[in-house]
Amino acid sequence: MVSFRENMSDYLDSGMITHIEVGTGPCGEMRYPSYPRNQGWVFPGIGEFQCYDNNLREGFKDSAEDIGHPDWDLPDDAGEYNDTPSDTKFFGADGTYLTEKGIFFLKWYFYTLVKHADSVLHVANRAFLGCKLQLAAKVSGIHWWYRDDSHAAELTAGYYNVREHDGYSTLARMISIHYGTLNFTFAEMRNFEQNEETKNVPEQLVQQVFSDAWRENIEVGYESALNRYDKKAYNQILRIARPNGVNREGAPKLRIGTFTYLRLGDDLLETNNFTLFKIFVKKMHADLAYCPDPSKYFKPIIPLPRSKSPSLLKMEYETSATTRWIPYYVAKATPPFPFDEETDMPVD
C-alpha cells in the first residue's frame, strides 16, 4: 500500500484518485471463501465453514479451553457446499447453531473475520493517512437463505447475522473506526424476481446493511450485479440511492455516496440502451446539473484522519459462550430505516 501511495502520488495529490477499495478477502470482499465455484459450489448452496486448517483449529481449541470447554471441537454437522439448511443438523430446525457450543463457535468464527479486516484497514489507514480520499471495504451480498431462520449462507461466509444479532452493524462499526466507506452490491435486484425456494430477499438485506452503515454515520457505496438495461432495474437502483426520495429543501437524509455501474460494453452502447442510461445518470443526480467542484458536494472528501484506535477488537472471554464477544460493540438486531416502495425520480 505504501508503494501504491508513492507511485500514484501525482494522481492522489491532483484528486484524480478519490476512493480506494481495500481488499479484505476473496474477490476483495470481507468474507471467508465459503462458496468457491472451483470447488464445485453452485447457487444456492449454503457453502462450508473455512476453518479446518491446523492454525484455525488450534485457535478455536485454545479459545474453547479458555472458557472451560477443552472438549469442544469445530462443527462436523454443517453439511457440504451445495446443501440446503434443512439438509444439515447444524442449520436445521433447532440446530446446533442455536446451542451454547454453536453460538460460541459462530462468535469465534465471526470475530476472527472482523479482527482480520480490522488489521488490514488499520494498515491501509496508516498507509494513506492524510491523503484526500476515502477508503472502502466491500461486504459481500449473500442474499440466498436470508429469510431462513439460520441465515446459513451468511454464517458460513463469516457473517453472524441471525435473529437477535446484527452482524452487519458490527462490521459497519469496525469500518467507521478507520473512517471507511461500506461498499455493497446487487443494487438492481427485487424480491419478486427471485426463486421463493431459496428464501432469497435481496431488498431486505440491502435495507439492513445500509441502515446499519448510516447509523454508524459512514458512507455507503454500492454496485449493480447483473447486466441490466431496463427501466425496472434502473428504477430500483434509484430507489435504493435515495430510499426516502429527494429532499427539496436540501440534501436527503439517507442517500448513497458512490455507485458503480456494471458494466460498459457493446450492449450498453446500443442506441436505445444508451439513451435510457443517460436518463438514468441524470436521475441519479436528481436532474441537477454537473458539479465539477468536489468542495461543493454534500460531504466533500477531506484528508483521511488517523484510525480511532490501533485495535479495539481485543478478545474477551467470560464464563458463558453466550456472552458478548467484542467488548467495544456488539449489535442487537434493530429495525431498519423505512424505505419508500418506489423511487420518486423514475426513468420513465
Q: Report pLDDT for 321.
A: 44
The SS3 assignment for 180 reads: strand
- From CA 103, how far away is CA 107, in angstroms rounded? 6
The SS3 assignment for 200 reads: coil
151: region left, alpha or beta (phi > 0 left; psi from -120 to 50 alpha): left
CB 22 within 8 A of CB 121: yes
Looking at the domain covering 2-296, what would its CATH class be? alpha beta
Task: Annotate 50-92 with three-state secondary structure.
Answer: CCCCHHHHHHHHHHHHHCCCCCCCCCCCCCCCCCCHHHCCCCC
Q: Which amino acid is at 23?
A: G
Q: Report pLDDT for 347.
A: 97
Could you tell me the residue ranges of all domains in the chain? 2-296
Catalytic residues: 29, 223
Q: Facing residues of 180 across strands? A: 135
For every residue of 117-140, DSSP letters joined together read HHHHHHHHHHHTTT-BSEEEEEPP
Walk along the chain (348 residues) in steps of 10 and give the mean pLDDT of each run: 96 93 97 97 98 96 92 97 98 96 94 93 96 96 97 97 91 94 95 95 97 95 94 97 92 92 94 97 93 76 86 43 43 89 96
- Give the chain's radius of gyration (CA, Å): 21
Q: Report pLDDT for 315.
A: 41
Q: Report pLDDT for 312.
A: 52
Neighbours of 127 (CB within 10 A): 18
